[in-house]
Chains A and B, each alone.
Chain A
Amino acid sequence: MQVETIRPAGGRPTHIRHDDLISAKGVSVVMGADQNRQLILRDIDLSVPKGSFVSLIGPSGCGKSTLLKVLAGLVSPSSGSVSIAGLSPGEAARKRMIGLVFQDANLLPWKNAVDNASMLLGIADKSMSRSALRARGQEMLELVGLGDAAHKRPNELSGGMRQRVAIARALALDPAVLLMDEPFGALDAITRDSMGQSLLEIWQRTGKTIVLVTHSIDEAIHLSRQVHVLGINPGRITQSLDIPLPYPRDTSVTEVPEFVRLVLQLRTMLRSSHQPGGAS
C-alpha cells in the first residue's frame, strides 16, 4: 500500500493510490548506436490506477508515443521497469491484457467490419470457432455504435467509423488496459469530438483503464481524470494535472469556467515543457 507523490501539478501534489494497474519506474529509452545514440525518454515514473483515464500530452518528438510502446511491450526500456498488474508488458500482452489503437485504423481492406473487429482475437485465441469470433466481433461493433455496419468493408466506412472498428478490435480482446496513440488525430474536429464522447461512454460502461496519447489540450481535459505533460530533449514527465471535473462528462463540459481554467493551466504547463531541460 504505497502512496506516491508525483511532482506538484499547479501547486497541488497529486496522490496516486495503491492499486495501480500500470506502474513505470525510472524508465529510460536510448535509441540508435554510437554517435547516433539518442536519449528518447529519461527517468519516467508513471502510475496509472486501475479504471482510470490518463492522458499523455506533449510537443512532437517528446517521446509520448515511445512511452506508449514501452507500456505495450513493443519497445524495451534501456533502464527502469514497467509492470502491468505485476506482469511485464510482454507477458501482459500475451495474456491479452493490452488493447492497442493507433492513429491509423489499419483495418484489413479484404475483411468486413465484423471480421476486422475479431481479427486480433482470432490470432490470440486459436481455440475460438469462427462463429464465436463473429459473435464477439458483432458485440463489440454494437458497443462502439456500429452494429449496423458489420458487413461493410473498410472502403465503405468513413474515417471515424473505421476508427470505431479499430477500437472494437482492441476491446474484443477484453484487455485490462486500452493504450491509444492519437486515435482521433486524423479525424476532423466534429468527428473528433463525437469520437471522444463515445470513448468516454465506452470507458464508463466497460471500466477499462485507458492511457491516451494526444496533442489536443481540449481532448485531454474533456476525457481524462489525469493529464501528464511530457517535456522534450530528453522526453520526460515535467508536470501532472488532475482534472477534477465530475463524470459523466459530455461535450458541454467544455463550456464551464473550470474547463477554461484547466485549459489555460495545461497550456502554461505545455509552454514550459517546450524548454529543453537537463535538471528537473
Chain B
Amino acid sequence: MSKQPVIDISPPASGWTAATSSWLPAVILLLVTVVLWEAAVRIFSISSFIVPAPSEIAKSLVAQWDVLVQAAVVTAGEILFGFLVSVIVGIALALVIVRFDWLGRALYPLVVLFQNVPKVALAPIFILWFGYGLAPKIGLILVIAFFPVTLSMLAGMQSVDRSLLSLMNSVGASPTQILFRIRVPHSLPSLMSGTKIAATLSVIGAIVGEFAGASDGLGYVIQFASTQLDTPLVFAALLLVSVLGIAFYYAAEILERVVVPWAPKFSQA
C-alpha cells in the first residue's frame, strides 16, 4: 500500500561513505574476533586438532586449494541442481493444490504431515535407493527445500483480495485465467521469499547428503579430514561451505529484484 517513511537520523552521507559506515562495524567485529581467536590459541597453546588458529586454517586453505576448489565445484553443482528441482516441484505442487480443489484437499494435509518427518534421517535410505552419485543429494535437497517454496506460493495465491476476484468474475473470467493472470503474479513476491529460504536449505541438504555417503564434495572433505584429525582442513572446508551459502542466498536475492521489481518492499526506491 502506502510507502513507509524511513526516518534517517544519521547525518547525510555520500554514497561511498554511507556504504562504508553500514559495513564497517561488522568488518571490525570480524577482524577483532579473528585476532582474539589467534591470540587465544597461541597464549593457551591449544592443540591445532582441537581448535586451529586462523593462521593454521589459512595455511591449510592455501595448501589444499586445488582439492578444496574441486570439491566446492561438485557441491555447488549439487546445490544448484537440487535447488532448481525443489523450486520447480514446489511451484508445480502449489499450482496443483490451488487449481484442482479435491486434489489440493488430498495433497495439502499429506505435504504438511511430511514436513514433520526429520528429513535428515532420510539420507541413509536415499543412499540405499539411489547409490552414491548425484541422485541421492538431489533427492535430499528436494525433500528439505520444496516445502517453503510450496507454502509461500500458496500463501501468495490465496491472499488475493476478494473484491479483485469479484471484479474478475463480473467479466466472466475462467478459473484458469484467474490463476495465471492474477493469482500467480500476485504470489511472486511471497514465492521469492520462499525461494530464498529454499536456497539456504539446499546448502544444508547437499552437505547432509555428502555426509551420508559421497566420494567427493565439501561435505566429504569435512568428514574425511575429521577422521584424519586434520581440523584445519575441516575449518577451511567449512569456510568454503559458508561462502557457497552466502553466494546462493545473494543470488536468490538478486533474482528477487529481477522478477518482482514492483514488490512492496522495493517501493522505496
User: What is the interface of chain A, defined by CB distance below 8 A to chain B?
Assistant: 69, 72-74, 93-94, 96, 98, 100, 102-104, 106, 108-110, 119-120, 123-124, 153, 155, 159, 173
The size class of the interface chain B forms with chain A is 20 to 34
B171 near A120 with CB under 8 A, answer: yes
Could you name 12 residue pairs across A and B whose Cβ atoms are closer than 8 Å? A69-B166, A72-B170, A93-B170, A93-B171, A93-B172, A106-B161, A108-B185, A108-B186, A110-B188, A120-B171, A153-B262, A155-B264
Which chain B residues border A96 with CB–CB below 8 Å?
171
A96 to B170 CA separation, bound complex (whole angstroms): 8
Q: B94 to chain A: closest CB distance in Å? A: 18
A124 to B164 CA separation, bound complex (whole angstroms): 15
B167 near A100 with CB under 8 A, answer: yes
B267 near A155 with CB under 8 A, answer: yes
Q: A133 to chain B: closest CB distance in Å? A: 13
**Is B181 part of the contact surface with A, judged by Cβ < 8 Å?**
yes
B164 near A106 with CB under 8 A, answer: yes
Q: A188 to chain B: closest CB distance in Å? A: 12
Additional 20 contacts, C-beta under 8 A, given A102-B167, A103-B163, A120-B168: A72-B166, A72-B170, A74-B170, A93-B171, A98-B170, A100-B167, A102-B163, A106-B167, A108-B185, A109-B264, A110-B260, A120-B170, A123-B168, A123-B171, A123-B172, A123-B181, A153-B262, A155-B264, A155-B267, A159-B2
B171 near A109 with CB under 8 A, answer: no
A110 near B264 with CB under 8 A, answer: no
Contacts of B229-258 to chain A: CB distance below 8 A: none
A106 near B163 with CB under 8 A, answer: yes
A38 to B17 CA separation, bound complex (whole angstroms): 64
- Whether A109 touches B170, Cβ cut-off 8 Å, given contacts A104-B163, A155-B267, is no
Which chain B residues border A159 with CB–CB below 8 Å?
2
Q: B154 to chain A: closest CB distance in Å? A: 19
Which chain A residues border B170 with CB–CB below 8 Å?
72-74, 93, 98, 100, 120
